[in-house]
Chains A and B, each alone.
Chain A
Amino acid sequence: MTILETKGLKKIYGSGGNAVRAVDGIDLAVEEGEFLTIVGSSGSGKTTLLHMIGGLDRPTQGKVFIGQKDIYAMNGDHLAVFRRRRVGFVFQAYNLIPVLNVWENICLPLELDAKAVDHDFISDLMESLHVYDKRGVLPNQLSGGQQQRVAIARALSTRPSIVLADEPTGNLDSKSGLEVVNLLKQSVKKYHQTLVMITHNETLAQMADRVVRIEDGKIIGQGGAVCEPISE
């Protein structure tokens, strides 16, 4: 079943002769439980695509459906609520709240939703990401890998149907990066979630069920372990 679908998605910055087409008509469908990676060179439009998929950046044109819902048909506040319930984000720069400790950062989306925290679930999640013993520590006292694991835990804490990860290993060394992606993959599998990950690390990309390659805002190839180019 398709959990995520984009139709003719475009993001254009500027206008006229100065227009920059960051995303230029992308049609993409992701199945429930699928692990998809998006690869491409710097400036290819992959982060913009991910932001639009996650409801963070409004497209110039086109639509995004998550669970059959056109997310940009919602107003700002509805979209925010939808986002915190259905989408989990993992950023390259971790983006933890510096003044909140690990436990608070992980529970933050739940608390924003005024939902009771399921302590067993969060503890289990933290255990599986090896950050439970750091629960009272502030982010700046953690290593990059640890911070990213906390960010993953935060993304999964609301049991979202889809997790979007924007180069989660970009700030990590290769060993930590591999470990983080492995944990991410295991977690989404454990909690039956769909994972869309941006990376330009080909090795990590190969760990996905499907790889989509984009360049100049367009999908130029997609497939299983080997990315098949799409003919124009």
Chain B
Amino acid sequence: MRTYIRIACRYIRKYPQRSLAMALSVVLSVFLIVAIGSLNESSKNSQVMHSKNQGAQHVIYHGINAEQLEKARAYRNAERVAALVYFDQWNTPDGLAVSLLAADSNNLYMENTRIKEGSLPTQPDEIALEGWVLDQLGLPHKVGETLQIDLVEKGEKRGYTLTGIIEDRMEEKATGQLDAFIALNEGILSEKDGQISALVEFKQGVGINEEIDKLAAAMGLQGDGSENIEPNEILLSAMGQTGELDRELVLLSLMLMLVAGMVIFSVYSISALKRIRDYGMMRAIGATSRQIIYIILAEIAVIYVGGAALGLAGAAVFVQLFKGAATDVFIFHALEGFGNLPLDIIVISLPAVKLALLIALAAVLAAGMRVARMAALLSPLEAVNRSTQDEKIRFADRQGRLDGLLDVTKRVTVKNLRRNKKAVVFTLIAMSIGCTLFMVRSFTLEMFGREQNLFYADKNPRENDELRLNVNNTAPMTLGYTGEQIAEYNELPAVNEVFAAQLLYSRLKIAESQLNGDFGNLYVKKMDERLTEFDKKPGEASSKPEDRMGFSFPGDSGDELVIRNTVMGLSKPQWDSLSRDLSLKENTSAENASRPQAVLYVPKVNKEGTFWGEGYTRMEPVLKIKAGDVVRVTYPRQGYEKSLDNWDLIHQYNKYREQYADLEFTVAAITETLPEQDEFWLGTDDAPYIIIPDQVFQEVTGIDTYRIMSIDLQDAYSEADYKTLKEKVKQTAALIPGTTVQDRAALLRDQEKAEREYILFYAAVALVLITIGGLSIYNNINYNIISRLREHGILKALGLTNGQFKGMLRFEGVLYGAISALFSCILALLIELGIFVYNAYFSYYTLSNKHFFLEWKSFLLVILVNIGIGYLASVGPAAQVNKLEITEAIRSVE
């Protein structure tokens, strides 16, 4: 064995360039698979960790009683059980609603939080809140303080002592979910029997899904259906994916195997062909075929082991650089419901290591076996006499159209290329895989990017604004931010644009015939059902018929219906922009011209009258109103002027209808996009919106304030600018209690970072593939040139000058590159067309933008890279050949 390895090592040293190329292919393949696999697994682990922010429990059992809770606590495979009971709602004077939850200490663990100061409540009159909730409620962070709390359901005011401040829960903070925690005692458990929730975390290593069912059965919940059992899908999904190999990783690995395999195969074949004479000599002096095979296998084994070790080491170091990067980049199918989270955990993926080693082994073995077979079948005499030149030239010597245009040196090159079809095809495939992957990725990225932009422009145009203030719907309708305050923001250097909207919670008077068939009728029915839910709470509110809360009410005439809606006033630039986009219909009749113009937004529903549904669902507008029609809006003008409760004024229409005043607008256009929307229930976009210019809004309603302010920062804003602005926003928000402040700055930064990392990541993958493909081009050109030494010698003997010789080789290199680029471009274009057609017409969600486009930048890059590699590949061999004397070259047999 030692002899074989010694000879193998000699060969490796004798052909350093080729050995290096093969080893590099192994290194790069192993590196890429391990790096991608590890980053993938690391990000999944991070996702699992972060998913615990949304709950560390594996399952929640809702609506259980105290006995069932005890069974859960006693269950042998339950690691931890937390009990949680909804106790009551606390309505603050600012109109904010806080849920009072009775919880035990395990809840903090499940919520991935802890007591920051003080302790958890243990007595019935104790309470603990998160810091950000205290801020939102305008309460001091002072343990021991007594809070007077209005309990809505109990209809009484109780004093609670703040015993602890809980660390902020990120999810609740981001969504504005206000909770307060009180002690869970026997009294509450018996009072709320049958309304208890048990959050269960199972022990490690058990089958979670089976355990969920087993525990449910133990608690006697089996027959209850799945409504009471809520598995933590996000955590389970994240957990389920760890340790699994991603389909795309496997695909990528197979591509790498193909590319690297072909490079190793062709390079090794070339290398072995050059030493076939040596094998013949060995055979002639008595070596057996088996011994020759051992030498070959020893050589590829040394290259494989060295290459794989380097690749593994490189990947291990490389992945550490990504600590803190966005996780979405590395999970090919990002978990639904997750944003971009920082990559906190770095692991080396064992399955990826195995896959990489296997793939590289398959590639080197394929090359080794072919050469071994060739060597074994060769007779010693044939091998000794073997020459790779001038033999068996089989190609149709036809004069191509181009031939006439080329000088003789280029013609020789073209003919040699035709003669070496196999090498050309190998090079093309090896090179085009990386290039095609890069081009197709660029195309899909651009395609979905365009679609996303369209989506955001369509569905949520203000999605990219960093800060947003929205006055609470309980604040009197006349309250809001003034034009001066908005102008002040607009003048700040860090601010790019401030979008402001006026809001008026109102009702729309429609004829029943304007409801769009079943879609409209069922919509009204479902919306009414949603509203009656609220009747249950204050109890006495629904005692009188005029106090009924409702979405729709009968109008003044027999077929009139009065439904909920919102009027929104836009500033002039925004109104102009909307008008331009929608090409408003001119008022044609004199009668209509007297009414102000409005843009109407009508919600769309499915055939059940709701807004959701599984799979593809036909959605239709709920109203049949078109441009040119007149719409009548009614709103509780007097009630608003008296600052009565908005909620009651709108929902208890019968009670307050005398205070309502009507407004009429001519519909100038229908929009499917809301430029902004109120985030509160009274301004829901589940009901129609009437959009008008702010000037008209002020004229017809007398309200000159704005309820929504959305601030878009300049692209390159500094951290200091942001902090100053954030402070100012907080102060502005505090002027109207209950105003919500949304801060998307960090999220947007994360998204941008993720996007950049995604592009960089795939560019890196493509770069590695192109490098491997480039090695193939380099080696093939190198071999083609070196193998034609004699031909070059002859040409020089016949008077080929050095300049002509260099030009000839450059032409060959560039031709290889150009053919490879052309092949890659055609292949990529076909795949891109296929992807486009599939996504535009056949996929689950078809593209809105059905215009095919050419992602020309990637094409240009690929053409330049290919031609560049081809050119570079000819430089080395040209210098090598030039060093030889003509007479030496002519004498050469290889």
Q: Determine whether the beta carbon of A99 is less than 8 Å from that of B416.
A: yes
Number of A-B contacts defined by CB within 8 Å: 87
Q: Of residues 84 to 111 in A, which have CB atoms within 8 Å of B's CB atoms?
A: 84-85, 89, 91, 93, 95-101, 104, 107-109, 111
Q: Answer yes or no: A200 CB below 8 A from chain B CBs.
A: no
When C-beta atoms are compared, the residue in chain A nearest to B419 turns out to be A99
Q: Answer yes or no: B385 CB below 8 A from chain A CBs.
A: no
Interface code A169-207, partner B: CB below 8 Å = 1, 0 otherwise?
000000000000000000000000000000000000000
In the complex, which residues of chain B have a beta carbon less than 8 angstroms from the beta carbon of A114? Answer: 407
Q: Determine whether the beta carbon of A112 is less than 8 Å from that of B415.
A: no
Contact of B408 (CB < 8 Å), options: A56, A93, A112, A136: A112
Q: Of residues 349 to 407 in B, which have CB atoms within 8 Å of A's CB atoms?
A: 389-390, 392-393, 395, 397, 407
* A140 to B803 Cα, complex, angstroms: 29
Contact of B794 (CB < 8 Å), options: A57, A80, A97, A107: A97
Q: Determine whether the beta carbon of B790 is less than 8 Å from that of A57.
A: no
Contact of A84 (CB < 8 Å), options: B393, B415, B799: B799
Q: Given that A76-B802, A112-B804 are contacting pairs, would A56 and B886 also be in contact in the complex, using a CB cutoff of 8 Å? A: yes
In the complex, which residues of chain A have a beta carbon less than 8 angstroms from the beta carbon of B804? Answer: 112
Q: Answer yes or no: A227 CB below 8 A from chain B CBs.
A: no
Contact of A77 (CB < 8 Å), options: B411, B790, B798, B801: B801
Q: Answer yes or no: A138 CB below 8 A from chain B CBs.
A: yes
Q: Determine whether the beta carbon of B798 is less than 8 Å from that of A108.
A: yes
In the complex, which residues of chain A have a beta carbon less than 8 angstroms from the beta carbon of B416? Answer: 99
Q: Determine whether the beta carbon of B801 is less than 8 Å from that of A81.
A: yes
* A138 to B418 Cα, complex, angstroms: 14
Q: Given that A91-B890, A114-B407 are contacting pairs, would A98 and B798 also be in contact in the complex, using a CB cutoff of 8 Å? A: no
* A89 to B797 Cα, complex, angstroms: 8
Q: Determine whether the beta carbon of A112 is less than 8 Å from that of B799.
A: yes
In the complex, which residues of chain A have a beta carbon less than 8 angstroms from the beta carbon of B791? Answer: 97-98
Q: Answer yes or no: B887 CB below 8 A from chain A CBs.
A: yes
When C-beta atoms are compared, the residue in chain B nearest to A107 turns out to be B408
Q: Determine whether the beta carbon of A95 is less than 8 Å from that of B794.
A: yes
Q: Determine whether the beta carbon of A99 is less than 8 Å from that of B415.
A: yes
CB distance from B94 to the nearest CB of A (A): 89
Q: Determine whether the beta carbon of A80 is less than 8 Å from that of B802.
A: yes
In the complex, which residues of chain A have a beta carbon less than 8 angstroms from the beta carbon of B802? Answer: 76-77, 80
Q: Determine whether the beta carbon of B397 is less than 8 Å from that of A101.
A: yes
Residues of B contacting A: mostly: helix
Q: Determine whether the beta carbon of A99 is less than 8 Å from that of B795.
A: no
When C-beta atoms are compared, the residue in chain B nearest to A140 turns out to be B393
When C-beta atoms are compared, the residue in chain A nearest to B882 turns out to be A76
Interface size class of A (residues with CB under 8 A): 20 to 34
Contact of A111 (CB < 8 Å), options: B389, B408, B415: B408
Q: Answer yes or no: A51 CB below 8 A from chain B CBs.
A: yes
Q: Determine whether the beta carbon of B798 is less than 8 Å from that of A112.
A: yes
In the complex, which residues of chain A have a beta carbon less than 8 angstroms from the beta carbon of B531? Answer: none
* A112 to B408 Cα, complex, angstroms: 7
* A154 to B798 Cα, complex, angstroms: 9
When C-beta atoms are compared, the residue in chain B nearest to A93 turns out to be B890
Task: Name which of A85, A95, A97, A113 has the most chain B CB atoms within 10 A of its CB.
Answer: A97
CB distance from A82 to the nearest CB of B (A): 8
Q: Of residues 42 to 96 in A, which have CB atoms within 8 Å of B's CB atoms?
A: 51, 54, 56-57, 76-77, 80-81, 83-85, 89, 91, 93, 95-96
In the complex, which residues of chain B have a beta carbon less than 8 angstroms from the beta carbon of A154? Answer: 798
* A77 to B418 Cα, complex, angstroms: 29
* A77 to B801 Cα, complex, angstroms: 5
In the complex, which residues of chain A have a beta carbon less than 8 angstroms from the beta carbon of B407? Answer: 111, 114
CB distance from A52 to the nearest CB of B (A): 9
CB distance from B607 to the nearest CB of A (A): 72
* A108 to B411 Cα, complex, angstroms: 11
When C-beta atoms are compared, the residue in chain B nearest to A94 turns out to be B794
In the complex, which residues of chain A have a beta carbon less than 8 angstroms from the beta carbon of B801? Answer: 76-77, 80-81
Q: Of residues 764 to 793 in B, which have CB atoms within 8 Å of A's CB atoms?
A: 790-791
Q: Of residues 128 to 160 in A, which have CB atoms within 8 Å of B's CB atoms?
A: 136, 138, 140, 154
Contact of A83 (CB < 8 Å), options: B395, B419, B799: B799
CB distance from B877 to the nearest CB of A (A): 18
Q: Answer yes or no: B412 CB below 8 A from chain A CBs.
A: yes
CB distance from A198 to the nearest CB of B (A): 14
Q: Answer yes or no: B658 CB below 8 A from chain A CBs.
A: no
When C-beta atoms are compared, the residue in chain B nearest to A109 turns out to be B798
Q: Answer yes or no: B796 CB below 8 A from chain A CBs.
A: yes
In the complex, which residues of chain B have a beta carbon less than 8 angstroms from the beta carbon of A89? Answer: 797-798
When C-beta atoms are compared, the residue in chain A nearest to B800 turns out to be A112
* A56 to B888 Cα, complex, angstroms: 10
Q: Answer yes or no: B885 CB below 8 A from chain A CBs.
A: yes
In the complex, which residues of chain A have a beta carbon less than 8 angstroms from the beta carbon of B885? Answer: 56-57
Q: Determine whether the beta carbon of A97 is less than 8 Å from that of B887.
A: no
In the complex, which residues of chain B have a beta carbon less than 8 angstroms from the beta carbon of A101? Answer: 397
Q: Determine whether the beta carbon of A98 is less than 8 Å from that of B393.
A: yes
Q: Determine whether the beta carbon of B887 is less than 8 Å from that of A57.
A: yes
In the complex, which residues of chain A have a beta carbon less than 8 angstroms from the beta carbon of B389? Answer: 98
In the complex, which residues of chain A have a beta carbon less than 8 angstroms from the beta carbon of B794? Answer: 91, 95-97
When C-beta atoms are compared, the residue in chain B nearest to A80 turns out to be B801
Q: Determine whether the beta carbon of B803 is less than 8 Å from that of A77.
A: yes
Q: Of residues 14 to 66 in A, which have CB atoms within 8 Å of B's CB atoms?
A: 51, 54, 56-57
* A136 to B392 Cα, complex, angstroms: 17
Q: Determine whether the beta carbon of A97 is less than 8 Å from that of B799.
A: no
* A80 to B392 Cα, complex, angstroms: 31
Q: Determine whether the beta carbon of A136 is less than 8 Å from that of B397.
A: yes
Q: Determine whether the beta carbon of B798 is less than 8 Å from that of A56.
A: no
Q: Determine whether the beta carbon of A104 is less than 8 Å from that of B408.
A: yes
Task: Name which of A80, A101, A136, A154 has the most chain B CB atoms within 10 A of its CB.
Answer: A80
Q: Of residues 272 to 317 in B, which have CB atoms within 8 Å of A's CB atoms?
A: none
* A136 to B398 Cα, complex, angstroms: 9
Q: Determine whether the beta carbon of B797 is less than 8 Å from that of A98.
A: no
Q: Determine whether the beta carbon of A97 is less than 8 Å from that of B412.
A: yes
Q: Determine whether the beta carbon of B890 is less than 8 Å from that of A95.
A: yes
CB distance from B575 to the nearest CB of A (A): 73
In the complex, which residues of chain A have a beta carbon less than 8 angstroms from the beta carbon of B521? Answer: none
Contact of A112 (CB < 8 Å), options: B418, B419, B795, B886: B795
When C-beta atoms are compared, the residue in chain B nearest to A88 turns out to be B798
In the complex, which residues of chain B have a beta carbon less than 8 angstroms from the beta carbon of A136? Answer: 397
Task: Name which of B407, B408, B411 has the most chain A CB atoms within 10 A of its CB.
Answer: B408
Q: Given that A95-B790, A98-B791, A140-B390 are contacting pairs, would A85 and B887 also be in contact in the complex, using a CB cutoff of 8 Å? A: no
* A88 to B411 Cα, complex, angstroms: 22
Contact of A56 (CB < 8 Å), options: B415, B419, B797, B800: B797
* A81 to B390 Cα, complex, angstroms: 27
In the complex, which residues of chain B have a beta carbon less than 8 angstroms from the beta carbon of A113? Answer: 799
Q: Answer yes or no: B409 CB below 8 A from chain A CBs.
A: yes
In the complex, which residues of chain A have a beta carbon less than 8 angstroms from the beta carbon of B886? Answer: 56-57
* A8 to B486 Cα, complex, angstroms: 101
When C-beta atoms are compared, the residue in chain B nearest to A99 turns out to be B415
Q: Given that A80-B801, A95-B797 are contacting pairs, would A108 and B415 also be in contact in the complex, using a CB cutoff of 8 Å? A: no
In the complex, which residues of chain B have a beta carbon less than 8 angstroms from the beta carbon of A81? Answer: 799, 801
In the complex, which residues of chain B have a beta carbon less than 8 angstroms from the beta carbon of A56? Answer: 797, 885-887, 890
Interface code B679-718, partner A: CB below 8 Å = 1, 0 otherwise?
0000000000000000000000000000000000000000
Q: Determine whether the beta carbon of A138 is less than 8 Å from that of B397.
A: yes
In the complex, which residues of chain A have a beta carbon less than 8 angstroms from the beta carbon of B397? Answer: 99, 101, 136, 138
In the complex, which residues of chain A have a beta carbon less than 8 angstroms from the beta carbon of B803? Answer: 77
Task: Name which of B395, B416, B797, B886 has the most chain A CB atoms within 10 A of its CB.
Answer: B797
Task: Name which of B392, B798, B802, B804 has the most chain A CB atoms within 10 A of its CB.
Answer: B798
Contact of B411 (CB < 8 Å), options: A54, A80, A104, A138: A104
In the complex, which residues of chain A have a beta carbon less than 8 angstroms from the beta carbon of B393? Answer: 98-99, 138, 140
When C-beta atoms are compared, the residue in chain A nearest to B413 turns out to be A99
19 contacts between A and B (CB under 8 A): A51-B887, A54-B797, A56-B886, A57-B887, A77-B802, A89-B797, A91-B890, A95-B794, A95-B890, A98-B389, A98-B390, A99-B418, A99-B419, A100-B408, A100-B411, A100-B412, A108-B798, A112-B408, A138-B397
Name A's B-contacting residues (CB within 8 A). 51, 54, 56-57, 76-77, 80-81, 83-85, 89, 91, 93, 95-101, 104, 107-109, 111-114, 136, 138, 140, 154
